[in-house]
Amino acid sequence: MNRIHLGLRRTVGALAALCGLGIVLASALSGCTVGAECAPSFGNKDECDATDIHCVDETHTASCVTTHCDATWGAPRACPNSAPYCVQTSTAVLRAECAPAPSCAATTQACAGSGLCADGDGECVLTAAGCAATCADNGRCGFDGSACIATPEGCAASGQCKTEGTCREISGFCYGSLEDCAASTNACGNNGLCGYENDRCAPTEAGCAASAECALSGFCAAGSGRCVASQAGCAASQACTQWNHCQLKDGECT
């Protein structure tokens, strides 16, 4: 049972006890109304941040409840029958999720989504298998003991290779090449970044003129690191025909 990460932030112990009695600790119940002076509440705004969630016990979670007056822990919420165990997945930023088994390997967001599949000290940590299972888009399929790193095979097969041209691995990261940038659907096709300069895809005059951004918004000329608007581009763009933004002014079609 030590793999279940229970109630790690001791500073909320008193609040959790109140939650156990079914008392909702939302400051909305403290007489706080919009536009009025904030009344005292059970909660302490230093106890949680807006996105915090933690395990109250092995089957319940609690989320941070915020109003314009305060931020405090809400009432415990039971995990569903399909995922009855609460697993604390992060302590640096409080995160928890319900899972079908009391381990990080059973979590959806932490393990299946981010590769954090091993039980650590009160949180879920990366594994080699987790990196390999979550690298389809970014190519970071390897594991150096602490972080997921890019591999040659991962970069070449990644979604970002197709969309952004980052198809080759260098020192654990995915980078582009002239050929890969020119073939990329987003970097080149949408944004005109069909050349290669300073280890990244770069704009070209031909790429900008043929890009989706040129046709839509008039960004048809190569600038520094991106395509920029031109007078000819503005006049021929959808922005001109649909919204009458046909003149170049301050770098934009207006």
pLDDT tens, 226-235? 999 999 999 9
The C-alpha atoms of residue 227 and residue 206 are separated, in whole angstroms, by: 10
As a whole number, mean pLDDT of residues 26-42 equals 45
Q: Which of 116, 134, 122 is nearest to 92 (CA)?
A: 122
Q: Decide if pLDDT at 32 tops 80.
A: no
Band (pLDDT 50/70/90 cuts) for residue 254 is: very high
Residue 71: predicted pLDDT:
83
Task: Tell me which of 28 and 215 has the higher pLDDT.
Answer: 215
As a whole number, mean pLDDT of residues 195-217 equals 97
The C-alpha atoms of residue 54 and residue 78 are separated, in whole angstroms, by: 12
% the chain with pLDDT above 70: 81
As a whole number, mean pLDDT of residues 142-146 equals 95
Mean pLDDT in the chain?
A: 85
As a whole number, mean pLDDT of residues 165-190 equals 97
Q: Decide if pLDDT at 165 tops 80.
A: yes
As a whole number, mean pLDDT of residues 137-161 equals 97
| Distance of alpha carbon 134 from the chain centroid | 14
35: burial class by Cβ within 10 Å (0-12, 13-18, 19+)?
A: exposed
Beta bridge partners of 78: 60
Q: Decide if pLDDT at 5 tops 90.
A: no
As a whole number, mean pLDDT of residues 67-72 equals 80
Task: Tell me which of 203 and 2 has the higher pLDDT.
Answer: 203
Band (pLDDT 50/70/90 cuts) for residue 46 is: low
Is 22 inside any structural domain? yes
Neighbours of 241 (CB within 10 A): 11
The C-alpha atoms of residue 115 and residue 89 are separated, in whole angstroms, by: 11
Is 57 inside any structural domain? yes
Is 28 inside any structural domain? yes
The C-alpha atoms of residue 229 and residue 216 are separated, in whole angstroms, by: 11
Is 244 inside any structural domain? no
Is 35 inside any structural domain? yes
Is 207 inside any structural domain? no
The C-alpha atoms of residue 5 and residue 22 are separated, in whole angstroms, by: 22
Residue 25: predicted pLDDT:
33
Residue 23: predicted pLDDT:
29
Band (pLDDT 50/70/90 cuts) for residue 116 is: very high
Q: Which of 185, 210, 206 is nearest to 195 (CA)?
A: 206
Q: Decide if pLDDT at 213 tops 60.
A: yes
Residue 177: predicted pLDDT:
96
Helices (H) and strands (E) in the chain, counts: 10, 18
Q: Decide if pLDDT at 251 tops 90.
A: yes
Residue-number span of the structural domain to which 57 is assigned = 10-101
Band (pLDDT 50/70/90 cuts) for residue 172 is: very high
Is 19 inside any structural domain? yes
Band (pLDDT 50/70/90 cuts) for residue 38 is: low
Quote the number of domains for the chain. Answer: 1
Phi, psi of 76 (to 5 degrees): -60, 145
H or E element in which residue 232 lies: helix 231-236
Is 253 inside any structural domain? no
